[in-house]
Structure 1
Amino acid sequence: MAKSGQERSAKTALKRQEKKEVELRHKVRHGITEMLADLMRWNEIEEAGEALQLLILNADPVAALSQAAADLPLSPSGLIRHHVRPGILDRLDDVAQSLRGASQKHAIELLILCAHTAGPEGSARHLRIPRHEITISENVSRQLEEFANTGIET
């Protein structure tokens, strides 16, 4: 039997509580929400939370600061909501501090502005998924080589 919307919401809320996720709400200028939508479209990202997390992980505070004086059209503000886990929240706080003590909202605005200014191709570096580099030690390499040479099939 399918779960009701309330049951699914309760389960999701419980998971978020277990992972210590918090919801952030940033009241940003309207142009910012449109820029975030452009970034998501250009980089084929469907979730705003994913796009914001990648912007935070790949943040370049020096480049973001260059956008501090950018003019945006005067329009109604928008609301950006997303959930973050403690590690991302700490990273956002670090980025905000490196932006001359900016608020989280201001840091998010500057990161979006910076990535958007780079254009469709240039924004990809701001929204790339960080990959871990895997290095195999000589000892493990030797063991793998020996295992491969024994002719044992798995």
Structure 2
Amino acid sequence: MAAKSQKERDDKAAAKRIEMDEKELRHRCRRGTRDKLEELMAWHGITEQAEAIQLLIWNAHALGPEGSAPALAIPRHEYALPESVARTLYQQGAKEAASMDRFEQLPNS
């Protein structure tokens, strides 16, 4: 039996992708996200990104709706307004309100 040509191997692979309803997923992400994925992969000895992403999807799904919710929650950044900034904003607002009050009390010309 002769070795298959590259075209024959490519055709067989393409036919198998169609048969298995395989679709390529592409995702662009920034350095921080890639760092997190690389760290996850290192923790678990995974060398292929596609394998890591596939395992994350399958494992998150296995947790069910409630169990997977924390993993799929959008991280929100909380900001606590420093007291000095709050005080400055309050003082500027009070000054503006007083100015508006004085303007409203002026007699009409």
Q: TM-score range by the shorter chain?
A: 0.5 to 0.7
String of CA shifts for 1:88-130, please: whole Å, max 9, x gaps. Answer: 2222111111223443222212211221012123322221111
Q: How many residues were matched structurally?
A: 80
Identical aligned residues as a percent: 38
Instruction: Confirm whether residue 113 of structure 1 aligns to residue 54 of structure 2.
Output: no
Aligned to 1:126: 71
Displacement of 1:84 in angstroms is: 2.2
Runs of 4+ with deviation above 3 angstroms = 75-79
- TM-score, with length taken from structure 1: 0.43
Which structure is higher in RCO with an 8 Å CA cutoff and minimum separation 6?
A: 1
- TM-score, with length taken from structure 2: 0.57
Distance in 1, Cα, partners of 2:77 & 2:39: 21
Unpaired runs of 5+ residues, structure 1, are 1-74
Aligned to 2:39: 94
Unpaired runs of 5+ residues, structure 2, are 1-18, 101-109
Aligned-residue Cα RMSD (Å) equals 2.6
Aligned to 1:142: 87
By percentage of residues, which structure has more strand?
1
Tell me, yes or no, if the aligned pair for 1:96 and 1:102 is still in contact at 8 Å: yes
